[in-house]
Structure 1
Amino acid sequence: MPLRRFLPDGFTCALLTTVVLASLWPCRGHAAIAFNGLTDVAIALLFFLHGAKLSREAVVAGMTHWRLHLTVLASTFVLFPLLGLLLRPLLSPLVTHDLYLGVLFLCTLPSTVQSSIAFTSMARGNIPAAICAASASSLLGIVITPLLVGLMLESHGQGGMSWDAIGKIVLQLLVPFAAGQVMQRWIGRWVEQHRGLLRYVDQGSILLVVYTAFSTAVLQGLWKQMPLPVLGGLLLVNAVLLTLALVATRYGSRALGFDRDDEITIVFCGSKKSLASGVPMAKVLFAGHPLGAIVLPIMLFHQIQLMTCAVLARRYAQRGEMVVSSP
């Protein structure tokens, strides 16, 4: 297997470059205010375009496979949070208090859309069901994730969600998304035809949030408080969470009687966590918290899940070819 398949993609390199830039030249003063305002606009535009792109017809058509979708949602919004809470006594000593708060936030996030569908397609799974499951997870996550974060904060001794935070979520995430859904009739086809625009807005908003978050964190002494053993511990924590999720979705789907195509969809939709949703939502939900430490776990998890699922998808595809070719 070529080594380049395990190398980080262009966006991951851009993320690393952004972290380096924020570490060397953090924005402060009036520049920080300007970057924060630009980031808020980019996040609102991001959710507006996602609302305009999400096909209501695809969601309605896919809802007939309700057992699969409930299984994916249970993995995303029940299994992951339970793992984060139950494993806290074992895993939290490996990282700092703030980093494990970021891990708990990671556990509440919705599934990815693009990569879940791409890996399901690569593995030759149920693509229509993957489109519906990933889209539903992304949509419901706008509501479910903040509620779960409130519960997680209370369990982590941070206090619950404030009404001010809920109002910011509604204004910055739900309102633009709803506006995009309303406008879908007129601009949905254009957004679909120019999906590259959505990718640039996706990635651009994430890079902006990462730069402003790490700028603030660096000025507060992030790297002085985070030695290499702690970063190694965070990698281990992420690897444990992903491994348990992959094992649970694979064997859980088989125990529930799903066929191979549906199993693939459940594995790749139920084990993912969305960086595109997570970083913008963290900015809204964790005002006043050390945001750099909050988003670092999802940044690392993003790369680990891409590399791991790429290998797993190829194995599923190879096994499918063997089944088809056998007499």
Structure 2
Amino acid sequence: MFTLWDYTLYLNAMKFDFFIVYLLISIAVAYFFPQLAIYRDGAFLDVLTSVGVSLIFFFYGLKLSFAQIKTGLRNWKLHLVVQLSTFLLFPLIVLLFRPFIGVLLTEHTWMGFFFLAALPSTVSSSVVMVSLAKGNVPAAIFNASISGLIGVAITPLWMSLFLDFTTENVLLDVYAGLMVEIILPVLAGLLLQRFWGGWATKNSKMLSNFDKSIILLIVYSSFAHSFQSGVFATLSNAYVIELFAAVALFFTLVYALLYLLCKFVFRFSIEDTITALFCGSKKSLTHGSVFGKFIFLNNPYTGIYFLPLMIYHAFQIFVITFIAQRYGKRE
């Protein structure tokens, strides 16, 4: 039975994520003040976000722990389950609903869910939740870290199946952009880790706030362009409610399938099960914001494509925190 004491522990563990509120504020600012996004055809904001993204992943490289990643390499079955869930199970579920476009959902709604499904897992929140639940933390660090790098290659490939990347080498441009703003900064961070790694770890909270600031700028820019083009004018309150319900069902389905695989097929320990469930069911808003900047370049529907991801981000934090607290109380 869920007691008042349980509820208090849950709230303390959850530490309400005000970043969700800031996301809503950035959307409101985009609606009322889109001028910054269209200033000089958006060139100023593009440069600002590009530099910010490069710094995010440079700092990420500084904080990578080779020792913890090496420790986590041994459990290959667990890694396989997490990565296949992230990059195969999610997209396949969404693909099942493609025949229903025009009947149950629109093309743009489906594309938003497919973009969500193709993204890598989160990094910091996955590790924090696994630690709170007393799961396999080294494996969580390995999977969360490697997921973003795999996503640089896999996510654009998935999206190229349904977006027009056939003209002017658009797919190559996407990869080039991701290479310059993600891979090269990560490598630079790794090379300089022995000099600045301690500083990055010590100031991880400040760097996390910097990451979130850049994400807010990208979200602002995407929604400002969408508001300017009028694509949200046709969305109703009922649509938003249905979107919330669809996201909740999507998360529940993936989580349930993962649980069944861990318990009855692979027979993982409780620690490995926690890591698989938490890392394999989450999606990264950070990577989604960055990837979307390249994949949906100049697309007026970018704001709509981001909606399922933003709702999923809030929902996964709320639910996984509750579950992590329950796991953490076990003997």
TM-score (norm 2): 0.89
Which amino acid in 1 is paired with 2:93?
Answer: L
Structure 2 equivalent of residue 98 of structure 1: 108
> Residues of 2 paired with 1:32 and 1:47: CA distance?
23
Aligned counterpart for 2:172 among listed residues 163, 166, 172: 163
Offset at 1:139?
2.4
Question: Taking structure 1 as reference, are residues 146 and 123 closer, same or farther at Cα in structure 2, changes over 3 Å only?
Answer: same
Kindly report which structure 2 residues correspond to 1:220-239, keeping only aligned pairs within 5 A, or say none. 220-239=229-248
Offset at 1:244?
0.9
1:60 counterpart = 2:62? no
1:84 counterpart = 2:94? yes
Kindly report which structure 2 residues correspond to 1:280-319, keeping only aligned pairs within 5 A, or say none. 280-289=290-299, 290-318=301-329
Contact 1:95 1:230 in 2 (8 A): no
Contact 1:43 1:172 in 2 (8 A): yes
Question: Taking structure 1 as reference, are residues 194 and 92 closer, same or farther at Cα in structure 2, changes over 3 Å only?
Answer: farther
> Residues of 1 paired with 2:172 and 2:193: CA distance?
30
Kindly report which structure 2 residues correspond to 1:1-327, keeping only aligned pairs within 5 A, or say none. 1=7, 9-27=17-35, 28-30=38-40, 32-90=42-100, 93-151=103-161, 153=162, 158-159=164-165, 162-255=171-264, 256-289=266-299, 290-318=301-329, 320=330, 324=331
Moved over 6 A (4+): none
Offset at 1:48?
1.3
> Residues of 1 paired with 2:175 and 2:230: CA distance?
29
> Residues of 1 paired with 2:80 and 2:103: CA distance?
33
TM-score (norm 1): 0.90
Offset at 1:31?
7.6
Identity over aligned pairs, percent: 34
Which amino acid in 2 is paired with 1:291?
Answer: T
Which amino acid in 2 is paired with 1:67?
Answer: K
Which amino acid in 2 is paired with 1:13?
Answer: V
> Residues of 1 paired with 2:106 and 2:31: CA distance?
19
> Residues of 2 paired with 1:23 and 1:176: CA distance?
33
Contact 1:47 1:173 in 2 (8 A): yes
Structure 1 unaligned segments of length 5 or more: list them.
none
Offset at 1:32?
3.2
Contact 1:94 1:234 in 2 (8 A): no
* Cα-to-partner distance string for 1:46-74 (whole Å, 9 max, x where unaligned): 11111221122221221011111111111
Question: Taking structure 1 as reference, are residues 85 and 25 closer, same or farther at Cα in structure 2, changes over 3 Å only?
Answer: same
SS where residue 69 of structure 1 aligns? helix
Offset at 1:94?
4.7
> Residues of 1 paired with 2:93 and 2:182: CA distance?
27
Offset at 1:280?
1.3
> Residues of 2 paired with 1:91 and 1:79: CA distance?
20
Offset at 1:42?
0.7
Structure 2 unaligned segments of length 5 or more: list them.
1-6
Count of residue correspondences: 316
> Residues of 2 paired with 1:83 and 1:306: CA distance?
21
* Cα-to-partner distance string for 1:85-124 (whole Å, 9 max, x where unaligned): 1133458755432232121011011111111111112211
* Cα-to-partner distance string for 1:269-306 (whole Å, 9 max, x where unaligned): 10000011111111012113222112121111000111
Contact 2:247 2:312 in 1 (8 A): yes
> Residues of 2 paired with 1:95 and 1:45: CA distance?
38
SS where residue 192 of structure 2 aligns? helix
Please say which of residues 305-314 and 12-21 is displaced more in the overlay. Answer: 305-314
Contact 2:156 2:171 in 1 (8 A): no
Which amino acid in 2 is paired with 1:20?
Answer: A
Contact 1:95 1:231 in 2 (8 A): no
